[in-house]
Amino acid sequence: MSQIDYQHVLDEITKEVQPLLSQGKVADYIPALAEVEPNQFAIAIHTVDGQTYCAGDCSARFTIQSVSKVMTLTLALQRYGDELWQRVGKEPSGTAFNSLTQLEFEQGIPRNPFINAGAIVTCDALYSRLSAPMHSMLESFRQLSGNAQVVIDKKVANSEYEFRHRNAAMGHLMKSFGNFNNEVDDVLWAYFNFCAIELNCVELAKAYNYLANQGKDANGQEVLSARQNKQLNSLLFTSGLYDAAGDFGYRVGMPGKSGVSGTILAVLPNQFTVAVWAPRLNSYGNSVAGIAALERLSQKLDISIF
Ligand code: GLN
């Protein structure tokens, strides 16, 4: 791409989405998440050649929620490779992120690693291979984001654990089908702590930049092989936004992953990662202003993977 004024584009988008910041509802099924000031917004781009651009509340930190599922999958693929796919599928679910019904029909094998059941079983796999899963996850984010101080918001993690019943039901259902090896509550505690990792948009875009960089981090070290990275991006495109993945793909044209804190990470292969945050969600659990911002970014830069 020739010289693009990313900063100008992000500033424009930040102005344009202001009217949308009061639309939608913050997630309140996790009580600690409902305490966030709802009308905030930030967007950051991190390019594969190491440039960062940000507009809005750039230093505001939020829990990354389901965007952590991408790192969970990354760490599990590093350890299991294709063997992981015996325990979790690769198909879009067409159901909500926290749906239980499909899991019963499909004998305890979740459709994909980005719905809750799929991420929880991936955590179970990781739990079996890591002596200190929370430490490993934090270290990955610390190294990749360049902020050695990344922490877990324990209030959010505790709140998720206290209200874990639906996620626990998924874990127990998978265990009844023989697709779960550790104690459900232990794995859930790790899963909730992963979800409660706190980053700002700049750190989030930077941490996941390997997704745009053929699987390599800023130092050229392989996080995933180029093949695995391509596969992961493909799965993000088909399933990263749950039962709204089709609409997101249509509007934005990039692989992406959303979380109920109102954050979305999207990838433009070989160019950049972009992280956006606006806490109010639509009925699919995805950020209203976040999707609109990414749609505008894709239009303004005339970008798409296609
Ligand atoms: N921690 C959340 C949960 O388990 C993650 C869901 C999400 O971000 N979609 O419900």
Using the mean position of ligand 1's atoms as its centre, give its distance from the Cα of residue 260 in Å. Answer: 6
Structure tokens, 24: 């939608």
Q: Is 17 exposed, middle or buried (0-12, 13-18, 19+ CB in 10 A)?
A: buried
Q: What is the pLDDT of residue 35?
A: 94
| Helix 184-195 and helix 68-80, axial crossing angle in degrees, nearest 10 | 120
Q: Is 206 exposed, middle or buried (0-12, 13-18, 19+ CB in 10 A)?
A: buried
Structure tokens, 201: 């948009």
Phi, psi of 193 (to 5 degrees): -65, -35
| 160 assigned to a ligand binding site | yes
Q: What is the pLDDT of residue 260?
A: 97
* Block mean pLDDT (10 aa), the chain, length 306: 84 98 96 95 98 98 98 98 98 93 96 98 98 97 97 97 98 98 98 98 98 98 98 98 96 97 98 98 97 98 91
**Best mutation site among 116, 164, 241 for ligand 1 pocket (most ligand atoms within 8 Å of CB):** 116
| 261 assigned to a ligand binding site | no
- Hey, how many other C-beta atoms are within 10 angstroms of the C-beta on 216? 18
Q: Is the CB of 52 under 6 A from ligand 1?
A: no
**Under a CB-based contact definition with an 8 Å cutoff, are residues 164 and 188 in contact?**
yes
d(CA 11, CA 243): 30
Which residues fall within 8 angstroms of residue 306, CB to CB, at 6 or more apart? 253
In degrees, rounded to 5, the angle at the alpha carbon of residue 23 between the alpha carbons of residues 272 and 34 is: 85
Q: DSSP letter string over 70-84? A: HHHHHHHHHHHGGGG
**Best mutation site among 28, 33, 66 for ligand 1 pocket (most ligand atoms within 8 Å of CB):** 66
Q: Is the CB of 279 under 6 A from ligand 1?
A: no
d(CA 68, CA 297): 23
Q: What is the pLDDT of residue 3?
A: 75
Q: Is the CB of 260 under 6 A from ligand 1?
A: yes
Q: Is the CB of 96 under 6 A from ligand 1?
A: no
d(CA 153, CA 103): 30
Using the mean position of ligand 1's atoms as its centre, give its distance from the Cα of residue 261 in Å. Answer: 8
Using the mean position of ligand 1's atoms as its centre, give its distance from the Cα of residue 192 in Å. Answer: 8
Q: Please report the atom of ligand 1 found closest to the CA of residue 116.
A: 4
Q: Is the CB of 273 under 6 A from ligand 1?
A: no
Instruction: Give the distance from CA 201 to its chain's centroid.
Output: 12
Q: Please report the atom of ligand 1 found closest to the CA of residue 260.
A: 8
Domain 6-301 CATH (choose: 3.90.1300.10, 3.40.190.10, 3.40.710.10, 3.40.630.10): 3.40.710.10
Instruction: Give the distance from CA 139 to its chain's centroid.
Output: 17
Q: Is the CB of 259 under 6 A from ligand 1?
A: yes
**Under a CB-based contact definition with an 8 Å cutoff, are residues 201 and 141 in contact?**
no
| 139 assigned to a ligand binding site | no
Helix (H) or strand (E) holding 52: strand 52-56
Instruction: Give the distance from CA 219 to its chain's centroid.
Output: 23
Place of tokens 């005339």: 302
**Residue spans per domain, the chain:** 6-301
| 260 assigned to a ligand binding site | yes
d(CA 193, CA 77): 20
Structure tokens, 218: 């800023």
Helix (H) or strand (E) holding 56: strand 52-56
Q: Please report the atom of ligand 1 found closest to the CA of residue 29.
A: 10
Which residues sit opposite 43 in a β-bridge? 55, 276
Q: Please report the atom of ligand 1 found closest to the CA of residue 167.
A: 4
Which residues fall within 8 angstroms of residue 139, CB to CB, at 6 or more apart? none
